[in-house]
Structure 1
Amino acid sequence: MKIGRIETFYVAPRWLFVRVESDDGAIGWGEASLEGHAEAVDGAFEALRDRFIGEDPFRIEHIWQVGYRSGFYRGGAVLMSALAGLEQALWDLKGRALGLPAWEMLGGRVRDKVRAYAWIGGDRPHEIADAARGRRDQGFSAVKMNATAELDWIGTPRLFDEVIERVKAAQDAGMDVGLDFHGRVHRPMAKQLAKALEPLGLLFIEEPLLSENPEGLRQISELVSTPIALGERLYSRWDFKPFFEAGAVDIIQPDLSHAGGILEVRKIAAMAEAYDIAVAPHCPLGPLALASCLQVAACSPNVAIQEMSLGIHYNVGADLLTYCKHKEQLSPVDGYLPVPSAPGLGVDIDEDAVRESNKDRHRWRNPVWHLKDGSFAEW
């Protein structure tokens, strides 16, 4: 068996799917979505096709090592997202060919299901409360929400009153809450906001600072007891290593479509386990990314909770299950996602719908924000 074809598809609302086909007709799907940069990732596949058309698709680790190391330049969001999508597709192909879920080939199950959380939004507490009750009615017991819009470098704690009210509204609706700072808050205010939120008993605060500021993250971790989560903008085990060593994070959030794929994230999770750090994979993406996350959750003891994009505000024109033939494969049950039992990634993709969406290729871009003085603000 040899790799015969590697295809990419721009899929609404903002995803990039990968399809690998062997010379004898075996097929696997993966997801190389990098939000806002689909064109760049798609371009990286030119080199991957040159290297791997004609290679044995079962040699996944070997292909990953060659893909990572052989181009001289390593890592980064674009190259690692392309490699992640290809790697996922190879696990899917191999699993389907052998009749095994990917997790079965990675050591077997340590759990039957994983707790999931969904996103909620709203600018006012009553909107948050309504959204939280809606998620509760869907069976979720945990949600995540953005902490703030753009913030200046400095300010007073009065700016945090609205944040606290919104969190309390979700908690009063019966939900555990994770709060995403989204890297929007600079250190002078992040310290104050983290301290103000501590009495609320959050599941975690996510990206209180960008990962490019590890010294500030350590300061915040020493200031509050709230678990600190981070990792969606880290792309390999080498990127995560200094955060483990610094003791600055409690929960890591590698993205299966950004951080090299299934086996690389399994290795990152194993490193985290040695430091008693939990894993909550980042996944505001599509069904193949989520299915890949569940393969890691199935065989990694320190996966604590899983993000999913069902009904997320980014999903305009298509939602998480739009391209799934069997929607129950990725549907939550009482706030948990079952470990997939079907071969490969455990999700069946509607290829006709994918090809149809690719005819009108999306050009998704994130918003650009500015502060009142006209300077750039983190989104």
Structure 2
Amino acid sequence: MQIKKIELFKVPPRWLFLKITTDQGLSGWGEAIVEGKADTVRAAVKEMESYLIDKNPMQIEDIWQTLYRGAFYRGGPVLMSAIAGIDQALWDIKGKYLQQPVYELLGGKVRDKVRVYSWIGGDRPDNVAQAAQEKKDAGFTAVKMNGTEELHYIDSYKKIDQAAARVAAIREKLGPDFGIAVDFHGRVHKGMARILFKELEPYRLMFIEEPVLSENIEALATMDTFGIPIALGERLFSRWDYKKVFELNKVDIIQPDLSHAGGISEVKKIAAMAEAYDTAVAPHSPLGPINLAASLQIDAVTPNVFIQEQSLGIHYNQGNGLLDYLVNKEVFKYKDGYAEISDQAGLGIEIDEELVRAEAKSAHNWKNPVWRNQDGTIAEW
């Protein structure tokens, strides 16, 4: 069997799908994207095409090593996201060829279902208590929200008070056992992060995400986190990036993204490293159905996964959503706050290719907003 064709589809709301087809007519799907840089990742995949055409798609590890090590420059969001989409599609092909779900090829599942959480609110969340109640009524047992608006290096206590008040409203409305995660989104600098940790301590958070940017991770060593679990990793792209996280020993949950961190092959290795450091895994997945399907394959075989992000109803998705591109929209049906692990071959989903091709003609150009502080300086989004 040989790889004969690689196609890319930039589809709304902000995704890039990849399809690999073999000489036997077997095809696999991947999701290769850096949000806001779809055309850049598309170009990276096209530049890798010569390493793939006529190769045996079953030799996934050798292909991964070739794509990573075969070129002098490596790593980073663009190259690793390109590899990630290719890797997902190759695992999809191999699973379909062997008529097995990918998790069976990775050693077999350790769980039948995985807990999921839902996003609430936007970047300036309002009425989050009601939004959380709606998610609870829909069957979710945990939510995540962005914690603050833009923050300067040192900012006002008013913004701190507003963030704490929003979390307090959810806790008061939904009780002590409902899961609440607060995403600082890397927009909080260390001086303000210290204050926020102290103010949020009473609300028994499930975790705080990206309390500081990953490039400033050493700041965590100087911080009292008041016992709140720390999660980060969506902006780390390989096991080599994660080395410094594990060595610091201040992070409780890592969040590799199956579309950014080298795909299924690499995230499996990152998760195994995390287990050796007694660290939990919660794959980052605010993206599309292929990304989530790949994440669930990792969840199935990874004992230290404790929860899975998913994008159903997320505020970033405008026009198209998680289920739109699936033939079987029941595959991600959640029950009692959990997602079932599918036993279907490959990634366990069937893509509505006709819709993908139609929507790709719209050529989305999604970009994240650019924020500024009151004094005009650029703020982290």
With normalisation by structure 1, the TM-score equals 0.98
Against the structure 1 CA distance between its residues 156 and 127, is the aligned structure 2 distance closer, same or farther, given a 3 Å change threshold?
closer
Q: After TM superposition, list the pairs within 5 Å mapping 1:84-233 onto structure 2.
A: 84-121=84-121, 127-174=127-174, 175-220=178-223, 222-233=224-235
Counterpart pick for 2:245 among 235, 243, 246? 243
The reply to whether residue 83 of structure 1 matches residue 83 of structure 2 is: yes
Structure 2 residue corresponding to 1:255, chosen from 254, 257, 263:
257
Instruction: Provide the rounded CA distance (Å) in 2 between the counterparts of 1:35 and 1:331.
Output: 25
Distance in 2 between residues matched to 1:104 and 1:355, nearest whole Å: 31
Q: How far apart are the structure 2 equivalents of 1:192 and 1:146?
A: 16
Check the 8 A contact 1:122/1:128 in 2, yes or no. Answer: no
- CA–CA distance in structure 2, aligned partners of residues 132 and 161 of structure 1: 19
Question: For the structure 1 residues 158 and 360, does the alpha-carbon distance in structure 2 shift closer, same or farther, using more than 3 Å as the test?
Answer: closer
Partner of 1:327: 329
Q: Which moved more, 1:60-69 or 1:167-176?
A: 167-176
Aligned partners of 2:12, 2:88: CA distance in 1, in Å? 20
CA gap 1:59/1:152 in 2 versus in 1, 3 angstroms: same
1:155 Cα deviation from its structure 2 partner: 3.1
More displaced, 4-13 or 161-170? 161-170
Residue 363 (structure 2) aligns with:
361
Deviation at 1:154, TM superposition (A): 1.1
Query: What pairs up with 1:69-80 in 2 under 5 angstroms?
Result: 69-80=69-80
SS in 2 for 1:359: helix
Tell whether the 8 Å contact from 1:5 to 1:20 is kept in structure 2 after alignment. Answer: yes
Structure 1, unmatched stretches of 5+, are none
1:63 matched residue in structure 2: 63
Contact 1:68 1:74 (C-alpha < 8 Å) held by counterparts: yes
Going from structure 1 to structure 2, the CA distance change for 1:339 and 1:358 (only over 3 Å counts) comes to same
How far 1:127 sits from its partner (Å)?
Answer: 1.6
From the superposition, tell whether residues 115 and 5 of structure 1 become closer, same or farther in structure 2 (CA, over 3 Å).
same
Query: 1:181 & 1:197 partners in 2: Cα distance?
Result: 12
Can you give the 5+ residue segments of structure 2 that lack an aligned partner in the other structure?
A: none
Identity of aligned residues (%): 56
Aligned twin of 2:291: 289
What is the rounded CA distance, in whole Å, between the counterparts of 1:343 and 1:173 in structure 2? 42
Residue 217 (structure 1) shift? 1.8
Distance 2:41 2:49 in 1: 13
- Looking at structure 1, the residues matched to 94 and 225 of structure 2 have their Cα atoms a distance apart, in angstroms, of 47
SS of corresponding position for 1:302? coil
Query: Which residue does 1:23 correspond to in 2?
Result: 23
Look up the match of 2:338: 336
Shift of 1:37: 0.4
Distance 1:123 1:26, change over 3 A: closer
1:12 is matched with which residue? 12
Q: CA deviation at 1:159?
A: 2.7
The structure-2 alpha-carbon separation of the partners of 1:257 and 1:209, relative to structure 1 and needing over 3 Å to count, comes to same
Q: For residue 52 of structure 1, what is the amino acid of its counterpart?
A: L
Aligned residue pairs: how many? 378
Distance 1:5 1:156 in 2: 55
Secondary structure at 2:243 match in 1:
helix
| 3-state SS in 1 of match to 2:334 | coil
Q: Please, which moves more after superposition, 51-60 or 162-171?
A: 162-171
Mean alpha-carbon deviation: is it higher for 267-276 or for 193-202? 193-202
Counterpart Cα distance in 2 of 1:125 and 1:360: 30
Listed one character per residue, the Cα deviations across residues 35-60 of structure 1 (whole Å, up to 9, x for unaligned) are 00001000001222111100000000
**Aligned residues of 1:32 and 1:258 also touching (Cα < 8 A):** yes
Dislocated runs of 4+, deviation >4 Å: 122-126
Structure 2: distance between partners of 1:152 and 1:256: 31
Q: CA RMSD in A?
A: 1.2
Letter matched to residue 311 of structure 2: S
CA-to-aligned-CA distance 1:145-181 (integer Å, 9 cap, x gap):
0000101111353431111111122223323100000
Which residue type is aligned with residue 217 of structure 1? L
Q: Does structure 2 retain, via aligned residues, the 8 Å contact 1:125–1:169?
A: no
SS across alignment from 2:127? helix
SS in 1 for 2:214: coil
* CA deviation vs aligned residue, 1:5-62 (integer Å, no higher than 9, x gap): 0111001100000100001100100101210000100000122211110000000000
Q: TM-score, normalised by structure 2?
A: 0.97
CA offsets 1:324-353 (integer angstroms, 9 cap, x no match): 111111121111011121000001110000
Displacement, 1:298?
0.1
Once the two structures are TM-superposed, the CA of residue 224 in structure 1 deviates from its matched residue by 2.2
